Structure formats: C-alpha cells, structure tokens
Amino acid sequence: MRTKISPSLMCMNLMEIKQQLAILNSRADFLHVDIMDGHYVKNITLSPFFIEQIRPYTPLAIDVHLMVEEPTDFIEAVAKAGADYICPHAETINRDAFRVINQIRALGKKPGVVLNPATPVSFIHHYIHLLDKITVMTVDPGYAGQPFIPEMINKIAELKALKEQHGYTWLIEIDGSCNQKTYTTLLDAGAEVLIVGTSGLFNLHANLETAWDDMMVNIAQAQSALRESA
C-alpha cells in the first residue's frame, strides 16, 4: 500500500489558508483537523466552523480528531460541517462505543478511533471490526512538537498483525512526531497514514510547495532504506 499523507491543519499558516489548501489539494490524501475542548487536553485549536469554512475549498477527505471529553456533543456538528472521518479517543467512548460508531455511520461518515500512548489495543477489541481507521498517538495528546514515544512501535506492529490475520480493512494511522527521524521505523512497523505537522512538513521550508517536496524526499529515503534492508 502506498503511504498516505495527512497534513495537520492546526500547524499550517492560518493567514494563508486558501493558498495552502490549494497546494495540499493536489498532493495530500487527507486533511487532519484537531478539535479540542480545553478539558480533555489543555488546549483549544480548530472547530466545526473551521471545517465548514474550508469544505468548499478542498475535495480531500477531512479527517476530524476529537480530543474532547464528550464526543457526542461534537459528532453531529462536525458531520454537518463536512467531515468525512470522525475519530474520537477510545477512552472517551468505551461506555457507549457501539452507539457512537452507529451514530457516525448513520450520518454517512467513517468512524475511527484514537489510542493514547498508554492505551492498549485490547481496549477496543470488541468493536475493532467496525472501524475504518485506527490512529496511534506516538506522543501524549494536546500539543504539537512533543518527542516521539518509541514504545508505540510495538503497538503499530500489533495492529498490523491483527489486520493481516483477520483481514480488517481499517487504516493504521500515526499521529505525533512523524518526521525524517521516525519515518523508517514507523513504516517498517506498519504505518499506512502519516499525520504530518510542524516537524514533518510545515517547518521544513517557508514555501509549502518546497516543504512538501522536501518531506517526500525524506519519506522516499525511508522507503528505500527499508527495501535495501529487506
């Protein structure tokens, strides 16, 4: 499977949204939108209104990451705003996971789930077959620019093995410190979608087109290194 790229829009230059979306539209596979409530994590970033504003300017799938204590307060709003994937944290839905997943599907959207670093894959065992995407946090949630947590490599490999064993179709996505230092390890473990933010994309160059090209060189080098070691 070709590695898919999902730029994290909270890391983009928000003063140049239209210009940067135009660049990403022909290059990215998804657009990653973080929504935080200031409670589940001590930060507030984007909103359903932001999704509504960018929806007319991109054909890409908008992937919404709900870092909120009460996902059901946001699901309908982000769906109406134009989200394609809706991904709450497993810790916030396990009391009513089946109801939440059914709600997302009933709205015509794809359900995903996000696993914090300390949350095991077994936490979602009973509904893992109902998902379209599983996001592994390789940093603690809340802020960009945190250091990579290497213990997450085993979790990614565990998901890859489960997917192959049972024929699951969900995507294995990585959120946190996806950059030149980690690409080889992440791809080797089984990562399929890379969420790229400051260190992986937007801080590589002031010109986003140049930054994208630099990122793709870094990813290609990681893929080449894996082929050579195979």
Domain boundaries, the chain: 4-229
Cβ count within 10 A of residue 144:
18
Q: What is the pLDDT of residue 44?
A: 81
Query: Which whole number is the average pLDDT over 118-138?
Result: 97
- Condensed to tens digits (0 to 9), the pLDDT of residues 147-180 reads 899 999 999 999 999 999 999 999 999 999 999 9
Known binding-site residues for substrate equal 65, 142-145, 175-177, 197-199
Which sequence positions are flagged as catalytic?
Answer: 34, 175
Known binding-site residues equal 32, 34, 65, 142-145, 175-177, 197-199
Known binding-site residues for a divalent metal cation equal 32, 34, 65, 175
Superfamily of domain 4-229: Aldolase class I (3.20.20.70)
Residue 145: pLDDT band with limits 50, 70, 90: low
Distance CA 44, CA 68 (A): 10
- Condensed to tens digits (0 to 9), the pLDDT of residues 190-229 reads 999 999 999 999 999 999 999 999 999 999 999 999 999 8
Q: What is the pLDDT of residue 142?
A: 66
Taking Cα atoms as reference points, which of 211, 180, 206 lies closest to residue 27? 211
Q: What is the pLDDT of residue 143?
A: 64
Question: Can you point out the beta strands (E) in 76-226?
Answer: 85-88, 110-115, 133-137, 171-175, 193-196
Tokens at 209, concatenated? 């087109």
